[in-house]
Amino acid sequence: MRALKYKDTWNLSIEEVNDLHAEAPYDVIVAVSYCGICGTDVGIASGAYPAAVSGVTLGHEATGIVVEIGEKVKNVNVGDRVVINPTPYCGKCRMCQTLRINHCQNKFGTESGVSYDGTYADLYKTTQDFVYVLPEKVSLKAGTLTEPLSCILTGLRKIQPATMTAYSYVFGAGPMGLLYIWALSLKGIVPVLIESSPSRLEFAKTCLPHGVRVYSNLEEAKSDFFKDVKAPMDLVVDTTSGLLEELYPELACGSIYMSIGLKQKKVSIDTMQLADKSLTIMGSIDSMHGSFIEAFHLIVKGVIPAEKLVSHIYPLNEFKQAFAAIGCDLSQKKMTKTSEPNCKVLIEMRAGQ
């Protein structure tokens, strides 16, 4: 079978590896249909997020068809269309036992596409607790957005603004920014979206919830959306990981700043203001107890229009074009500006699903 391997920064390649089989009683083998390219994959490929083990198969946002099951598997059958939850946890370590499964201390060796062979492959091996059967009417493409949405719901649980009329801002109109916009709007909060890339902005316009607008800069957003050039910032979701220092002086008293990007940036902030203005600055990563099933339901019920966020689909052998579509140029070994409208890019493993 084929697998997209991470070797080193900027060095990914398709390799022929041994097929996977259900060996243990609860094993499930999935023939991958689609796998979304995540910011994490781009970070690994470009060296911005040096988390992956050399030689690992990348990919973690996938759906597919069950092709083999272990003898004790009860919840799925061969032929079922499934969504894969790619982040198992041990349930036994201190983090797992204190409601922090996203920081499981035994993650190493189990995290798909980072330390465990992931889903940019013809086959993926998991266990029955980490697959969910998709109803007939829900596409395998839509299902790939379950994992990123689950990460967002994890963050959303921590965001408790003082009022639903909070002046809220989401920076970055990639898949994470758009999913935050949708999730916040379910909570009754209507944020403004800010995206400096014209190609990202153009795509975002096509899949916003009612009442939400997207702008290329903060000034325009404040004056046009809030009709106030000094519009306070009660809630900020920063998907770029680069704006804390710049926006810090503008944060309203009692405001919340959520940072979810995985790019390094050292900043300096005034800690006196942190207390004096009752500011909350926080981060969030991965899935929490129940967030994956919550995300699955929101997509299955059509509450979040997941498939609309998909801008491109490429077969595995065109993975370089797929990464380039979101600005990760593996051939030139650099991040570039994108020219076409884009959001979530999928790699297709099996044609015609």
Given the rule CB under 5 A, which residues bind Zn ion?
38, 89-90, 93, 96, 104, 106
Q: Which two three-digit tokens encode residue 242?
A: 């680069």
Tokens of 98: 């204190």
Kindly give the pairing relationship between strand 344-348 and strand 27-36: antiparallel
Shortest spacing between CB 308 and Zn ion, in angstroms = 18
3-state helix, strand, coil in the chain (%, to 5): 30, 25, 45
Q: Which helix (H) or strand (E) holds 143?
A: helix 140-143
The distance of closest approach from Cβ of residue 101 to Zn ion in the complex, given in angstroms and rounded to an integer, is 7
DSSP 165-197: T--EEEE--SHHHHHHHHHHHHTT---EEE---
Min separation Cβ 215 and Zn ion, Å: 26
CA distance 287 to 145: 13
Q: Of the two residues 106 and 128, which places its CB atom closer to Zn ion in the complex?
A: 106
| C-alpha dist (Å) from residue 23 to 16, 68, 157 | 21, 10, 38
Closer Cβ to Zn ion, 161 or 175, answer by number: 175
Closest approach, Cβ 146 to Zn ion, in A, equals 10
To Zn ion, the closest distance from the beta carbon of 98 in angstroms equals 10
d(CA 151, CA 180) in angstroms, rounded, equals 10
d(CA 243, CA 95): 29
Of 56, 47, 116, whose CA–CA distance to 88 is shortest? Answer: 116
Nearer to Zn ion, 38 or 221 (CB): 38
- Tell me the closest approach of the beta carbon of residue 287 to Zn ion, in angstroms: 10
The residue among 108 and 249 lying less far from Zn ion, judged by its C-beta, is 108
Q: How far is the CB of 333 from Zn ion (least distance, A)?
A: 22
- Give DSSP secondary structure letters for 249-303: GGEEEEEEEEE-----------HHHHHHTT-EEEE--S--TTHHHHHHHHHHTTS
Which residue lies nearer to Zn ion by CB, 89 or 323? 89
Q: Compute the distance between CA of residue 110 and CA of residue 338 in angstroms, rounded to an integer.
A: 33
- Nearer CB in complex with Zn ion: 56/104: 104
11: left (phi over 0), alpha (psi -120 to 50) or beta: beta
Give the nearer residue to Zn ion in terms of CB position, either 102 or 338: 102
What span, in angstroms and rounded, lies between the C-alpha atoms of 156 and 153? Answer: 5
Report in angstroms how near the CB of residue 20 gets to Zn ion at its nearest.
21
- Of 93 and 247, which has the nearer Cβ to Zn ion? 93
Residues forming a β-bridge with 323: none
Instruction: Kindly state the smallest distance separating residue 61's Cβ from Zn ion, in Å.
Output: 5
Closer to Zn ion by Cβ: residue 190 or 345: 345
